[in-house]
Structure formats: structure tokens, C-alpha cells
Amino acid sequence: MRAALRTYLTRYAVDAGVVYEIVLAADEAFVNALTHSASGGEIRVSACVSRGAAEIDVHDEGDGFAHRTSHLRPVPDVSLTNGRGVFLIESMMDSVRVITEPDGTTVRMVRRLAPTPGTPT
């Protein structure tokens, strides 16, 4: 997943530092889906790059979780073995939404992109 997403983002001339952060956030959402979703369920990752943003969806067949976005979220306790995933995702992305529907849960992450030089805005 990481390699395919990195290749896709690079193909669309996304800055290397931004690619790193998007892939890190997507990987965290993917690992969370593997760990917490319905066992044996399918996990799908999709990505779309437009002129102004990269949008990544990680969908699993799980029941979801309560997600509240807060720009005042405290830094998680690094001595714990878990509990840093959503903090990390929110730190790397501009927008994070958790959408729970009857067929599963989607974590939708959006990262605004700076215009590429020479590209009309």
C-alpha cells in the first residue's frame, strides 16, 4: 500500500516531503483498520489528487469509532503502546473525517497541496 501510494502521489508531482507525510498518515489509518476492524474483512485504500488537494480514503468493514477533531488535542502519552494513531494522522493531514455506514467505516484524509510552479491556479 505504501509503495503504491507513494508512486501515485509522486506521479502527480506532489512534493516529496508532503508525499512522506501523506503516506505516513495513510499507513497509520491502514494499520488501524487491520488492527481494529472486523476480522477477515476487506480493507480498501483509494487516492485522488486534484489541483488543490490529495484525498485518501481507507475503508474497512468495521463498526467504526467515535472521532472528534480538536485542534487542542493533547500530545499522547508516548509510554503507552497505542493511542497515537489519530493524533499522528491529524498532524499530517489538513482534514480527517471518520464516516461510519452500514457497510463499514471510512477514514477520509485530505491534504491541501501548494500549486506546482507554472500551473494555472
Question: In what helix (H) or strand (E) does residue 17 lie, and over which residues does it extend?
Answer: helix 16-36
Q: Are 26 and 18 contacting, i.e. CB atoms less than 8 angstroms apart?
A: no
Q: Mean per-residue pLDDT for 11-24?
A: 92
Number of domains in the chain: 1
Residue with cell 474483512: 41
Q: What is the pTM of this model?
A: 0.80
Q: CATH number of the domain that 82 lies in?
A: 3.30.565.10
Confidence of residue 51 (pLDDT cuts 50, 70, 90): confident
Q: Looking at the domain assignment, is residue 22 inside a domain?
A: yes
Q: All 3 cell numbers of residue 10?
A: 509522486
Q: Looking at the domain assignment, is residue 34 inside a domain?
A: yes
Residue with cell 482534514: 95
Q: Which range marks the domain in which residue 76 is found?
A: 2-112
Helix (H, G, I), strand (E, B) or coil at 91: helix
Across all residues in the chain, what is the average pLDDT?
83
> For residue range 62-108, what is the model confidence (pLDDT) as tens digits?
776 655 555 555 665 556 555 567 888 998 999 999 898 888 889 99
Q: Mean per-residue pLDDT for 46-73?
A: 80
